[in-house]
């Protein structure tokens, strides 16, 4: 028995819980975030790819104007400030379905920030109670590819014989909304 743990009631008295969500919104653009490949689902695996979304040497990404417009619209709908200029950053990590080994995302200079959204929660008296969800930021980034795990009972990597990678989704535009 340790006395290092605070009793539950003391924890509730001493701290306010702060919970946040990161919501990924897939944008409905015709093309991907940084190349002209189709941003559609369901094509023949690895048919909608190019040197840019595969991260091949010398590829030159060009930002999708429609995705930027969509991000601004989302930011305005969430009562955010819209940055006069913003920056993309490389988020480096290795994962088999991310062919570049980095995700192009936004870090300290997102396109939209400091917003809010009012949500009315039903109450027993029927009047409802309005609760304000603060929006930390809404930033642009790109999706990863998709791993398919084959041979197991559940489709998950555990128990699978082998895995296949479909990069059609790699580079699809996303807005990440952070509450």
| Chain contacts with Zn ion (rule: CB under 5 A) | 35, 37, 50, 52-53
Q: Are 113 and 46 in contact (CB under 8 A)?
A: no
Shorter beta-carbon distance to Zn ion: residue 27 or 138: 27
Q: Which residues contact 119 (CB under 8 A, 6 or more apart)?
A: 130, 131, 132, 133
- Cα(29)–Cα(68) distance, integer angstroms: 10
- Cα(134)–Cα(109) distance, integer angstroms: 18
Least gap, CB of 148 to Zn ion (angstroms):
20
Shorter beta-carbon distance to Zn ion: residue 52 or 103: 52
Shorter beta-carbon distance to Zn ion: residue 53 or 72: 53
Least gap, CB of 66 to Zn ion (angstroms):
15
Shorter beta-carbon distance to Zn ion: residue 35 or 74: 35
Alpha carbon 94 to its chain's center: 17
Least gap, CB of 39 to Zn ion (angstroms):
9
- Cα(49)–Cα(166) distance, integer angstroms: 10
Least gap, CB of 53 to Zn ion (angstroms):
3
């Amino acid at each position: 028995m340790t006395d290092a743990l605070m009793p539950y009631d003391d924890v509730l008295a001493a701290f306010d819980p702060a919970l946040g969500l990161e919501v990924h919104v897939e944008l409905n653009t015709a093309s991907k975030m940084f190349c002209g490949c189709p941003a559609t689902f369901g094509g023949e695996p690895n048919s909608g790819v190019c040197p840019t979304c595969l991260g091949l040497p010398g590829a030159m990404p060009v930002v999708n104007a429609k995705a930027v417009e969509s991000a601004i619209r989302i930011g305005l709908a969430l009562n955010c400030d819209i940055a006069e200029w913003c920056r993309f950053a490389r988020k480096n990590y290795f994962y088999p379905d991310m062919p570049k080994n980095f995700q192009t995302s936004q870090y300290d200079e997102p396109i939209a920030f400091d917003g809010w959204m009012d949500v009315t929660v039903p109450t027993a008296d029927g009047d409802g109670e309005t609760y304000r969800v603060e929006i930390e930021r809404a930033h642009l980034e790109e999706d990863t590819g998709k791993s398919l795990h084959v041979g197991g009972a559940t489709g998950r990597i555990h128990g699978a014989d082998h895995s296949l990678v479909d990069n059609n989704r790699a580079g699809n535009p996303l807005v990440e909304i952070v509450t």
